Amino acid sequence: MTYRTTLRGAVCLAAVLTGNAAFAEVTAQQVWDDWKTQLSIYGPNSLSVGSEDMLGDRLMVRDIALTMIEDELTILATLGDVTFVEQDDGSVSVTMQDSFPIVLTNRQGMAATVLVTQSGLEMTVSGTRDAMNYAVSADRYKVALDRVVDGDFTFTGDLSMTGNNLTGSYTTRLGAMRDLTYAGAFESVDLLVDVQIPDAAGEYITMGGKINGLTMQAALAMPLDGVMFDDNNQIAEGSSISAGYTVDGGEYVFDINAEGDQMAGSISAGAGMLATQISADSLAYAGRTTDIMARIVSAAAPFPIEIGLSAYGFTLEMPVAATKTAQPFAFGIELADLTVSDMIWSLFDPSNVLPRDPATIKIGLAGLARPLFDMMDPAQEQAMMNSDMPFELSEVTLTDLDISAAGASVTGEGAFTFDNSDMVSFAPLPRPEGEVSIQISGLNGLLDKLVAMGLMSAEEMMAPRMMMGMFARSTGNDQLETRLQVTGDGQVLANGQRIR
């Protein structure tokens, strides 16, 4: 399955869970008519209805089912009966069944049934025809695997996610596009996995977890006909998706006995977030989690494994549509204050030679580039894969460089521009111009300690020390600096000395 198909499937699934309530009008019939319009985006025969009966201010729609087909996977959501009731204040209340199944089947005959249960669910739609507001709350919203059937084999077990004390709201606006914004929050989310591994005597997987303070937000802009993707799974022009979540923290425990090995442990994490933006022109992802602690006990290790991080994060931003001008891109990764237990240190440093300070890796790049292909177009995929440079690079800036471990550290900054009229001087890259400055601290001390530990001989250390002498200059006690420049005429200088 390609990335484009996966992306489209993710949007469709999100629409199943939220779109049915979001696209509503101010009368019962208008609400239901709009539901039918929006749910039909999955195909002319995707929505089936048993009957529609209007009695006074109450519209009863029975036996609602939605079918989605993505490649070899068919998804059938049997929503059952839904009631729309017009209120005295001009709003519409919507009542659904307390539970409904979602069945996923493939061409090989495998069928998995997921049961959605919603307790204390309240839905109310208000506003006007072109500006609708939707409010939802629930005591509990649970998604659980009911069973998996594959030929003569039937798999059962507990696999569920339960959100507690849900509050949320939708707002829709009609203009040149249909704009939908969503905000929701769960007071907590409970996770449970308790399954016996098929055809394995006594082997199992168990896990429990709780996420505290989960908030979610999303904004969608879609064509008025609701079709966000064309037949090639490309997102429609003008359409966009922006979504993400934040959490206050979470705690998890697990116990796994499989293939003769047993492993158990716990993981905790503090505040975290994830954000994504998708449009016809660009993709962007960002995530960060703080205060991560993990403790694992395994039969394969003679002692517990303990790992900690003050923060883990990533950033990715890239243009995906061919343009005439350069567009922003960015990449970043963060592993801050990594710690491991003394027992792990002792495996390779039993004499405690190396400083056991927390280790950090932070790298960030940003710049401008012009895509030469529409990356989401299947017709251009092969040409893009065969291209040496699918982008025309214009600028690159080192926004963050911070690497430290075992008493040594590397920091730096710099920026380059690129002349795409010269693809020969630094082939296959265009000719760069700019400079980068790198500061190194404690490296000689680290090399000395590696020799003292016997990991490398003094002779083997001669080569890296000579390289440092050629490309770095001393700025203090075990402090080095390297300044690499590329001039407009193609010269390469290291600390002012020409090396090319």
pLDDT value, residue 8: 45
pLDDT value, residue 15: 43
3-state secondary structure the chain: CCHHHHHHHHHHHHHHHHHHHHCCCCCHHHHHHHHHHHHHHHCCCCEECCEEEEECCEEEEEEEEEEEEECCEEEEEEEEEEEEEECCCCCEEEEECCEEEEEEEECCCCEEEEEEEEECCEEEEEECCCEEEEEEEEEEEEEEEEEEEECCEEECCEEEEEEEEEEEEEEEEECCCEEEEEEEEEEEEEEEEEEECCCCCCCEEEEEEEEEEEEEEEEEEECCCCCCECCCCCECCCCEEEEEEEECEEEEEEEEEECCEEEEEEEEECCEEEEEEEECCEEEEEEEEEEEEEEEEECCCCCCEEEEEEEEEEEEEEECCCCCCCEEEEEEEEEEEEEECHHHHHHHCCCCCCCCCCEEEEEEEEEEEEECCCCCCHHHHHHHHHCCCCEEEEEEEEEEEEEEECCEEEEEEEEEEEECCCCCCECCECEEEEEEEEEEECHHHHHHHHHHCCCCCCCCCHHHHHHHHHHCEEEECCEEEEEEEECCCCCEEECCEECC
pLDDT value, residue 233: 65
pLDDT value, residue 232: 64
pLDDT value, residue 226: 66
pLDDT value, residue 9: 44
pLDDT value, residue 456: 83
- Say how far apart CA 144 and CA 184 lie, in whole Å: 20
Phi/psi at 237 (5° precision): -60, 130
Q: What residue ranges of the chain have pLDDT lower than 50?
A: 1-24
pLDDT value, residue 385: 87
C-alpha distances out from residue 381 to 286, 371, 376, 384, 482, Å: 25, 13, 8, 5, 40
Instruction: Spell out the domain ranges in the chain.
Output: 407-500
In this prediction the pTM is 0.84
pLDDT value, residue 231: 65
pLDDT value, residue 1: 42
**Could you identify the residue written with the tokens 């895509």?**
371
pLDDT value, residue 466: 83
- Say how far apart CA 470 and CA 460 lie, in whole Å: 17
pLDDT value, residue 22: 40
